[in-house]
Amino acid sequence: MRLRNWTARRSYGDGGLGARLTVASLTIALVMIPFMLLLVLAKLPLNPLDASVARDLHRYALANPDVTRLLIVWTDVFGPLTWRVAVVAAAVWLWVRGARRVAIWATTTIAVGGLLGLALKMIVSRARPSLPDPVALAPGEAFPSGHALTVTLGTGVLVLLILPRLPAWGRLLTWVIAWFLVVSVAYTRVALGVHWVSDVIAGVMLGVAVLAGTVAAFETWRREQGRKPLTPPIEGVMRTTRDEPDPRHYAG
């Protein structure tokens, strides 16, 4: 019996944990280094890239009102509220189904990311673009973009939740759709003249960093509980809505 329990712990245990956490740590570091550079950039006088892109896209928005109206609808439909409601709804469903720790992971990820973004807005206090004849207005500070941050967090959480139910081709297609939503929403914020390019890049990078951190922490917990290792970008954060039971509780 002891031999069987030891074998179960070995088969479900920490194989590859060090390598996976190292990769996660490097991912966070690689994301946060350029993010901090953007943070410094946001405190400096306006740079030529931000200024030129804002000017060119604003000129296009004024000349193409139909496109501008479409961008406004797109940015509203896929705005922060949509993703927060979607993640909370998914978390409630998971909680009812018994996957309570996964539900906590989902809500924690969207909440921590949002609070971190809000704190950075207040700390950096960067002004939004001030353009003649603005086509859209937005309250608050500019850096980082809340829309870009929340769409990254929201799509990331939802994709990681549904991956276990998808075939291989479906997983790839889901990631492509998710990144399309991230890039398109980020683009609308700059095209509508309510954010600088560096704002939306920082929002996406911060969202990726928060996701990487919470996923690494959740995967560490799963392994400590004796659950089978997962590759989150491919398999998601759980195998089923209840995940697999802890093998250390089995006596054979």
Is residue 152 within 8 A of residue 204, CB to CB? The reply is yes
Taking Cα atoms as reference points, which of 131, 124, 152, 145 lies closest to residue 188? 145
| pLDDT tens per residue across span 163-208 | 888 888 888 899 999 999 999 999 999 999 889 888 898 899 888 8
Contact present, 157 and 87 (Cβ < 8 Å)? yes
In whole angstroms, give the CA distance from residue 107 to residue 211.
Answer: 12
pLDDT tens digit string along 62-87?
A: 888 898 999 999 999 999 999 999 99
Query: Which residues touch 60 (CB under 8 Å, ≥6 apart)?
Result: 67, 191
| Pick from 50, 60, 25, 2: nearest CA to 209 | 25
Give the chain's mean pLDDT. Answer: 77
List own/partner pairs for 138-141 with CB under 8 A and 24 or more apart.
Answer: 138/194, 138/195
Q: Which of 55-69, 138-152, 222-236 has the lowest mean pLDDT?
A: 222-236
Confidence of residue 52 (pLDDT cuts 50, 70, 90): confident
pLDDT of 5 above 60: no
Say if pTM beats, i.e. exceeds, 0.85.
Answer: no
Amino acid at 240: T
- The DSSP H or E segment spanning 228 is none
Residue 251 φ then ψ, to 5°? -95, 0
> What are the structure tokens assigned to 129, written together?
């673009």
Residue 176, pLDDT score: 94
| All structural domains of the chain with their residue ranges | 2-249
For the stretch 209-225, pLDDT in tens is 888 888 877 777 667 66
* Higher-pLDDT residue of 27, 153: 153
Of residues 229, 211, 219, the one with CA closest to residue 11? 229
Q: Identify the pLDDT of residue 200.
A: 92
Q: How confident is the model at residue 97, as a pLDDT? A: 82
Return the amino acid letter for 124. Answer: V
For residue range 10-43, list pLDDT tens digits in order.
433 444 434 444 455 456 656 666 666 666 666 6
